Amino acid sequence: MKALIKTFKQLTYKQIIFYILLLLSVVGSLVFVYNNYAFYDRPIAKVIESQTEETTNVTDQYGNEDTMTIQNITAELKNGEQKKEHIQLKNEYSITGAYDQPLETGNELFVSIDKDSVGEKQLTGSITDIKRDKYIVVTAWIFILVLLLVGKRQGLFASVSLAINLIILSYALDLNVKTGMNLLWIAAVTVILFTVISLLLVNGFNEKTYAAILATLLGTFSSLLITYIAMTLTSDTGLHYEEMQFLTRPYRLVFLAGLFIGSLGAVMDVAITMSSAIFELYEKDHHISVKALKTSALDIGKDIMGTMTNILFFAYISGSMPMLILYLKNYSPLGFTLSMNLSLELARALAGGIGIVLTIPIGLYISIFFVNRKRAKL
Amino acid sequence: MNVLLLLAIILFVLMIVIGGRKGARSFISLFLNFLVVMFAVWIMTDPHTNPIILTIIACTIISSINLFYINQVNSKTITAFIATIVTIIILIIFIYIITKKAMIQGFGEEEVDEISIFSLYLGVDFVKVGAAVIIMSTIGAITDVSISITSPMREVFRHHPNISQKDLFFSGLTIGRDILGSNTNTLFFAFIGGYMGLLLWFKDLSYSFGQIANSKVFSAEMITIFCAGIGIALIVPIAAWINAFYLVKRREKANTT
């Protein structure tokens, strides 16, 4: 307790204001997101009672067994003209839950009200979707708070840079949709913005950062070029664009733009690691030979190569797991399942890996160039 | 020739030219990890297995490949390994609760047309599979952070052999803070890059903000990014504490004998 009081006394006014603002925004946004029914046009209902009507065992043509349960739901409408009225809904769910879910008291749903039941004794309707916004906000706050708690100032910078990047991305996509500018050009400009902002924000204005920015851009652009050439040479054999969901436009362009942005974070990480290492070696010993710089930096590069490619690999591949299970349980042949669901993810992981590995020598030579320039000035 | 094969060859050659023997090992580890994921998926298709326990086992194997095969078995990698497993277990409980509450498992309405030919009643609990997906997508980053903390901490310990456990722990935290930002960034861009199509879809079909924020695919994506970030932040104190505890205990033992 004494330690707690002591830490309180050590807080500066700036910190106190920061914590109060933080607390206010947490509480404010939570109160809002739990009571924002009026902001939605779609009717929202909160489950107040759910009863299991019947359960049946089903077996599909492949022998997969499941249990279907039908629930009778009474829910209270939270917005619109029928606010506070009760509505009768039906919900059917399976154990799998791939496209359905059990409901319990307190769940909030988007519903459509049956037109002919309006004005009758009992409103009826159907469930269209689940209200998920509050869970995003809750997880986002837990993320930010954990980041602040562990990372302090760096945690704050990390969350601020993520937020800025999200805003830039959303704005860039808007620009693309509204003006029809080429997606790849827009992606290229956003990549430059992302790199400059993220690296400057975390590492400040200095030569180390400039070297990293240059290395990141060269690394990403050359990995994209190599991938593009490889794709053209093989005329996209083995890439199954049909697995790309959510397509409203030329798929190849969308895929390339995604490739561009996807490997950027990893490449940035490699570039800043390389330039920090080289500049630190130089700061410790201003007379260090270029050869010694090269050897030690290359050793560091070798160390991070494996883990960095692994990070990208898992981030891309894991998302396909539910689809793989679905295909396999429907007795699709293994080869077909893998090529249908993993070709694009594997291409992304491999292209990202190429970017990571290329950035090691690129970052090395650019940083040494900057170090030499600095040395010449002395 | 197949694009994937060509890209794999390019990557393999680059890794060997730049990384030598270690580069070759990195490439092989990618391949081994791929096999582990596929094997885990294959076992998950059996409704009698628990996808969460399976994921923990798969993560154990993956982190041993990443830590013990790419680097050697030594006190740095062993403490990094223990820290990874502890973090994974804490994280998976949290992720499972969130996945269940937010009901983000399985497929969204945007995806359902495409899979309409398939039977969706498989007996495999997709809530657990959903939690497995999130944890698997961060395992690479979590092992990376843990080794990036334990290995410089060893150097600190070597230079200051009489450092207290508390000071050692705080030096681990400082190291962790420096890599926090770049690692969350790495995952953020990877996820966003993978979902470019989805984001454009929302914009093209002019979904309202409310529709986007509540749709299953978008929520799942955002929650994945946040949970990945939570995992990366959580491993920092866990790895620092376990490593500090281990190094100081070993010193005490050496002193008494």
Which of B3, B109, B137 minimises the CB distance to A318?
B137
How many Å apart are CA B153 and CA B11, to the nearest integer?
Answer: 32
Region A294-313: mean pLDDT is 92
Contact residues, chain A, for B66 at CB < 8 Å: 306-307, 310
Banded model confidence at residue B72, pLDDT cuts 50, 70, 90 = confident
Question: What is the pLDDT at residue A243?
Answer: 67
DSSP 8-class letter at A116: G
Q: Do A177 and B230 touch (CB under 8 A)?
A: no
Q: How far is CA A144 from the centre of its chain?
A: 15
Q: Do B187 and A227 touch (CB under 8 A)?
A: no
DSSP state string for B148-188:
HHHHHHHHHHHH-TT--HHHHHHHHHHHHHHHHHHHHHHHH
Which of B26, B129, B196 minimises the CB distance to A254?
B196
Q: Is the pLDDT of residue A1 over 70?
A: no
In this structure, how many other beta carbons lie within 10 angstroms of the beta carbon of residue B242? Answer: 24
B46/chain A closest Cα distance in angstroms: 9
Interface contact B43, partner A, CB < 8 A: no
B14, with CB counted inside 10 A (0-12, 13-18, 19+), is buried
Q: Which residue of A has its CA nearest to B222?
A: A136
Angle at the Cα of B64 (from B59 to B68), degrees rounded to 5?
160
How many Å apart are CA B238 and CA A259, to the nearest integer?
Answer: 33
Contact residues, chain B, for A101 at CB < 8 Å: 103, 105
Interface contact B255, partner A, CB < 8 A: no
How many Å apart are CA A186 and CA A58, to the nearest integer?
Answer: 50
Span A356-371, pLDDT tens digits:
999 999 999 999 999 9
How many Å apart are CA B137 and CA A314, to the nearest integer?
Answer: 5
Shortest CA distance to A292 belongs to which of A301, A283, A282? Answer: A282
Q: Is the pLDDT of residue B249 over 70?
A: yes
Question: What is the pLDDT at residue A143?
Answer: 96
How many Å apart are CA A317 and CA A344, to the nearest integer?
Answer: 9
Banded model confidence at residue B61, pLDDT cuts 50, 70, 90 = very high
Q: How far is CA A290 from the centre of its chain?
A: 39
Least confident of A104-108, A162-166, B113-117: B113-117
Shortest CA distance to B182 belongs to which of A363, A301, A199? Answer: A199
- A122, A350 in Cβ contact below 8 A? no
Q: Which residue of B has its CA nearest to A248?
A: B201
Region A62-73: mean pLDDT is 93
B19/chain A closest Cα distance in angstroms: 5
